[in-house]
Amino acid sequence: SKTRITVIPGDGIGPDIVASATRILDHIGCDFTYDYALAGLTALEKTGELIPQQTMDLIENNKIVLKGPLTTPVGKGFTSINVTLRKHFELYANVRPVQTFEGTKAHYSDIDIITVRENTEGMYSGQGQIIDDNRTIAEAKSVITRKGSERVIRYAYELARREGRKKVTALHKANILKTTSGLFLEVAREIAKEYPDIESSDMIVDAACMNLVMYPERFDVIVTTNLFGDITSDLCAGLVGGLGMAPGANIGEKVAVFEAVHGSAPDIAGKNIANPTSIVLASIQMLRHLAMHTQAEQILSALQKTIKQGDRVTQDLGGTGSTNEFTQAIIDHL
Ligand code: NAI
Ligand code: MG
């Protein structure tokens, strides 16, 4: 039977770029069945809910989600939908690959780094948030568990193996954060022993930031806790030309959500000028997750050729193309 994918077009530029990704998937004959689902501002307007139950059911049933960016209304007490999904489906690993594309204005060449960020614990666990009435002292609790560390670190090693990667580097601050980061580092060193075929190292996160800028070629797969991963994965995106060139996957035991990491870009919505690269890369991540490696490599190669050629890409990449033309150029290169 056909693989069913829950597709959330999302808000702003979301529907345009998601359509670009599905057009390409269909063109190479992926033969998926798409179940379209509402979330975000679009869902709120149509159903009164940011993420309707029907969408949650479709995600639960199909397990694979391709998701456009969502607008979370500000100042109305709404929790971010991305956070809701992460918590509800326990999407414990946030996988953020970056790679150099020839033809962009990025400052580096030959970058190829995957960050695996713990997505549920640490400084972002949401626990113990206290501020006194005079707003003089604020507290928040950082929670790291052995189980939470083990599963994300093991995911990073399994990913490294599956994708033929050579090295996993754990980022931490165990010299100062002796309990929390200390536990994460301890678990990382234990799990490293289970993977003798992969080179393991660990590095203090601030030193890692300097090294990422000076010697990015020394990194392959990075695994780290929530806050550090949030920051260092954006740093990595900067090495390859920004968030527009980077996809993200949120992986749980059952459900996996593949998305563009940029937002809904309301300033350019509906103009057919949004760059679809991030969501197309997310669909490549999705194909690899489904072990459809041939199709993944085909799309990647066509995207690389299109960006290198440079004339039919969108304005943000220096071209004159619309979203549709960029998409058509990728299809022409397939
Ligand atoms: P944004 O990423 O939407 O836009 C920042 C700038 O980058 C804008 O100038 C935009 O035009 C440009 N940009 C973004 N994606 C682009 C693309 N594919 N092609 C060409 N240009 C692109 O960030 P912003 O403005 O802070 O947020 C807008 C909305 O998106 C907010 O409601 C925010 O909550 C939401 N958001 C959603 C995310 C998600 O669902 N994963 C992630 C980040 C923001
Ligand atoms: Mg972030």
- Count of domains for the chain: 2
Predicted confidence at residue 329, as pLDDT, reads 98
Ligand 1 lined by 225 (C-beta under 6 Å): no
Angle among Cα 119, 58, 61 to the nearest 5 degrees reads 85
CB 234 less than 6 A from any atom of ligand 1: no
Q: Is the pLDDT of residue 1 over 80?
A: no
Whether residue 123 is found in the same domain as residue 219: yes
Assess if residue 320 is contained within a domain: yes
Tens of pLDDT, residues 203-212: 999 999 999 9
Q: How far is the CA of 45 from the centre of ligand 1 (A)?
A: 20
For 142-177, how does the pLDDT look when each residue is reduced to its tens digit (9 = 90+)? 999 999 999 999 999 999 999 999 999 999 999 999
Q: Tell me, what amino acid is at 39?
A: A
Structural domain harbouring 194:
97-242
pLDDT-derived band at 227 (thresholds 50, 70, 90) equals: very high
Q: Residue 86's pLDDT is what?
A: 93
pLDDT at residue 73 is higher than 90: no
> Which tokens belong to 212?
């990422």
Residue 291 lies in a domain: yes
Q: Is 277 exposed, middle or buried (0-12, 13-18, 19+ CB in 10 A)?
A: buried
Same domain, 238 and 283: no
Of the candidates 188, 209, 242, which is a domain's last residue? Answer: 242
State whether 50 and 111 are in the same domain: no
By the CB criterion, residues less than 5 angstroms from ion ligand 2 are 230
Smallest CA separation from ligand 1 atom 26, residue = 263
Domain identity same for 258 and 333: yes
Residue 267 Cβ < 6 Å to ligand 1: yes
Residue 268 alpha carbon, nearest atom of ligand 1: 11
Asked whether the CA dihedral 59, 63, 68, 74 is positive or negative, the reply is: positive
Same domain for 110 and 30?
Answer: no
What pLDDT, on the 0 to 100 scale, is given for residue 72?
84
Do 199 and 262 have their domain in common?
no
Q: What is the pLDDT of residue 188?
A: 98
Does residue 249 sit within a domain?
A: no
Among 42, 50, 262, 314, name the best residue to mutate to test ligand 1's pocket (greatest count of ligand atoms within 8 A of Cβ).
Answer: 262
Q: Are residues 107 and 222 in the same domain?
A: yes
**Domain shared by 265 and 238, yes or no:** no
If you average pLDDT over every residue of the chain, what do you get? 96
Q: Judge if 80 and 134 occupy the same domain.
A: no
Domain boundary among 242, 266, 293: 242
Amino acid present at 217: E
Confidence of residue 78 (pLDDT cuts 50, 70, 90): confident
Looking at the domain assignment, is residue 247 inside a domain?
no
Q: Are residues 230 and 148 in the same domain?
A: yes
ipTM: 0.97
Pair (123, 148) in one structural domain: yes
Question: pLDDT-derived band of residue 125, with 50, 70 and 90 as boundaries?
Answer: confident
Kindly state whether residues 138 and 263 are assigned to the same domain: no
Secondary structure class of 240 (helix, strand, coil) = coil
pLDDT digits (tens, 9 = 90+) for 255-284: 999 999 999 999 999 999 999 999 999 999
